[in-house]
Amino acid sequence: NTDQFERLAELMVEAADDPSTRVVVLTGEGRAFSAGADLSGTPPARADYKYGFPGMVEVIIDFPKPFIVAANGLGVGVGATILGLADMAFMAESARLRCPFSALGLTAEACSTYTFSRLMGPQKAARFLLGAEWWDAAACKEAGLALDVFPDAEFLDRVMAFARDLAAWPMPSLIETKGLLMAPHREAMHRANREENEALARLRGGAANVEAMKAFREKREPNFANL
């Protein structure tokens, strides 16, 4: 997973510097959008990552061009929270999202403690981030997390048509306007990213996280009664 985060960060940096790239659309391959990060506490395969997960989030926060997320299927963990980092997010009708952090003895990430409250309001954000519930595409649109929902069969075509229309406008205008939209939020998003990762470091490998991972391996419900 860290390899994927590293590569996405590298591609976003390249896209920011490439004058031929005007809009970035992030989607998934196959039936799922993203299964999320490896939250089991397994150490990364390498120690020389330039970005890793926290750095990937920083790159997206600072990305100057329009960034569209197209959730084509199931999104878990960062597969859900990354919608909050998008300038616009779309979902296929069959797509569902879940933030399983409470069920894993962990906490939220990818600035979602900030972006979800801003997009959905504090109560809906709290329900989604604390409750570990599955939300379907209609619920995500109603809450303000997704801009629109398209039928599965035409989903990517509809999103790409929107992206092409957006890319037809003058790039300086798009960049300046996005910069103004982000200006009141960028510093707060970077702070949320730092604080969330500090909280994850405190909880990862803790008693609740260990119980959640053990229960998953043993195919049983976790017992958090004394935690």
Q: Rounded to an integer, what distance in angstroms lies between the CA atom of residue 114 and that of residue 218? A: 34
**Interatomic CA distance for residues 165 and 57, integer angstroms:** 26
Question: Residue type for 170, please?
Answer: P
Give 172: exposed, middle or buried? Use CB within 10 Å, 0-12, 13-18, 19+.
exposed
147-182: pLDDT as tens digits = 999 999 999 999 999 999 999 999 999 999 999 999
Spans in the chain with pLDDT lower than 70:
36-47
Q: Which of 118, 100, 88 has the alpha carbon at shortest distance from 24?
A: 88
The whole-number pLDDT of residue 34 equals 85
Residue with tokens 């939250």: 39
Question: Distance between CA 88 and CA 222 in Å, rounded?
Answer: 36
The mean pLDDT value of the chain amounts to: 94
Tokens representing 151 are 């039928």
Report whether CATH 3.90.226.10 matches the domain 2-203. yes
Domain ranges for the chain, please list them: 2-203
What is the rounded CA–CA span in Å between residue 133 and residue 173?
39
The SS3 assignment for 199 reads: helix
Cα separation, 218 vs 4, whole angstroms: 28
User: 127: how many CB neighbours lie within 10 A of its CB?
Assistant: 15
